[in-house]
Amino acid sequence: MCGIAGFLAKREGVPVAEGLVGMLQAMRGRGPDSTGLSLYGAPHEGELVASIWAGDDGGAAARQGILEAIDRHGRVASADFREGYFRIGLDPEDGSPRGLRQLADEVERTNPGVRVFSLGHKLELIKYTADARTIFDTWSLGGVPFTHGVGHVRMATESRVDVNHSHPFWARPFPDVTVVHNGHVTNYHKNRRIYEMRGYSFQTENDTEFVAVYLAEQLAHGLTLDEAVTRSIDDLDGSFTYLVSTADGFGVARDRFSTKPCLVAETDDWVAVVSEGIALAGAFGDDVEIHTYELQGGEARAWTR
Partner 1 sequence: MDAIALTRIDAHGKTTREVNAELKALLAAGQRELEVLNPGSRHNLAVGILEPARIVFRGDVGYFCGALSDGLEIEVEGDAGWSLGADMMSGRIVVHGNSGSSTAPSIRGGLVVVKGNAGARTGIANKGGTIVVGGSTGYMSGFMAQKSRIVVCGDAADAFGDSMYLAELFCGGEIRSLGSDTVLEEPTAEDLAWLAETLEPFGLGPKREWKKVRSAGKLWRYDKKEFSIWKEAL
Residues that bind partner 1 (CB under 8 A): 256-258, 261, 263, 276-278, 280-281, 286-287, 289-294, 296-298
Choose between 58 and 285: whose C-beta lies nearer to partner 1. 285
Nearer to partner 1, 219 or 236 (CB): 236
Find the shortest distance in angstroms from Cβ 4 to partner 1: 15
User: Is residue 11 exposed (0-12), middle (13-18) or buried (19+ Cβ within 10 Å)?
Assistant: exposed
Q: How many whole angstroms separate alpha carbon 35 and alpha carbon 125?
A: 11
Min dist. Cβ of residue 244 to partner 1 (A): 22
φ/ψ bin of 222: left (φ > 0), alpha (ψ from -120 to 50), beta (otherwise): left
CA dihedral sign, ordered 152, 153, 158, 162: positive
Known catalytic membership, residue 2: yes
Name residue 116's amino acid.
V
Nearer to partner 1, 27 or 37 (CB): 27
**CA nearest to 242, candidates 183, 172, 295:** 183
Cβ density class 13-33: b for 16+ within 10 Å, e for less: ebbbbbbbbbbbbbbbebbeb
Q: What's the min distance (Å) between Cβ of 292 and partner 1?
A: 6
In eight-state DSSP terms, residue 222 is: T
Triad 205, 252, 207: Cα angle to 5°: 10
Q: How far is the CB of 296 from partner 1 (least distance, A)?
A: 6
The one catalytic residue among 2, 132, 213, 244: 2
For partner 1, give the closer residue by CB, 73 or 260.
Answer: 260
Active site residues: 2
